[in-house]
Amino acid sequence: MKSITACLLLIACCFFTACNSDFVQKERGYFKIPMPQKKYQLFDKAGFPYTFEYPAYATIIPDSTFFDEKAENPYWINIFFPQFDGELHLSYKDIGRNKFDTLIKDAFTMAYKQHTSIASAIKPVKFVMPNHVSGIYFTLKGNAATANQFFATDSVKHFLRGALYFNAPPNEDSLRPVNNFLREDMQHLIGTLRWR
């Protein structure tokens, strides 16, 4: 009986002393993503109605499809960032063949309607650049499929829309460093955009 009591007393002592430590929950961590050095090159392909500078760590790929349909014209391209597994989709439209108001409405629809239920905030910022380039840059917060979109136009002939997507689940926390890094590249593209 004494040995059972001693065992129970020992177990009780261990139980009470083990409960004195404070539990500290660890924060969720993400892999560190190495960012390349900023360096740009000129996209100036013959026959294209626009030129711009894009990152040296990216490649240009012709966009041959649009939602399983043939692209509207040969000036739709994707800027592929292999180290981030992401693409900036650029779609060009000639305003003369399309209604300007419809193009603007479509750009807002692509930014708002498709992402409103998921995005926690959408911030449109108007920009006006030299050489007749103006438009709106959309920054989306939350776990939306794209956090960066824009359209640029001269409001007479040219209309270019861009949206950045990643081949990864849209997790705002893990993609934030890359989105912030590539946002600078998108803004550089807009700043160097020239119409022909």
Please give the angle made by the CA atoms of 170, 192 and 158, to the nearest 5 degrees.
Answer: 85
Split at pLDDT 50, 70, 90, the class of 9 is confident
For the cut 80, the answer to whether the pLDDT of residue 117 exceeds it is: no
Of 12-16, 59-63, 107-111, the least confident: 12-16
Each residue's pLDDT tens digit, 57-76: 999 999 876 656 676 788 99
Put simply, whether the predicted model's pTM sits higher than 0.95 gets the answer no
Of 41-55, 57-71, 108-122, 174-188, the least confident: 108-122
In three-state form (DSSP H/G/I as H, E/B as E, the rest C), the secondary structure along the chain is: CHHHHHHHHHHHHHHHHHCCCCCCCCCCCCCCCCCCCCCEEEECCCCCCEEEEEECCCEEEECCEECCEECCCCCCEEEEECCCCEEEEEEEEEHHHCCHHHHHHHHHHHHHCCCCCCEEEEEEEEEEECCCEEEEEEEEEECCCCCEEEEEECCCCEEEEEEEEECCCCCHHHHHHHHHHHHHHHHHHHHHCEEC
Give the pLDDT of residue 12: 67
Each residue's pLDDT tens digit, 123-135: 899 999 988 999 9
For the cut 70, the answer to whether the pLDDT of residue 26 exceeds it is: no
Identify the structural domains of the chain with CATH numbers, from first to last. Answer: 40-195 (3.40.1000)
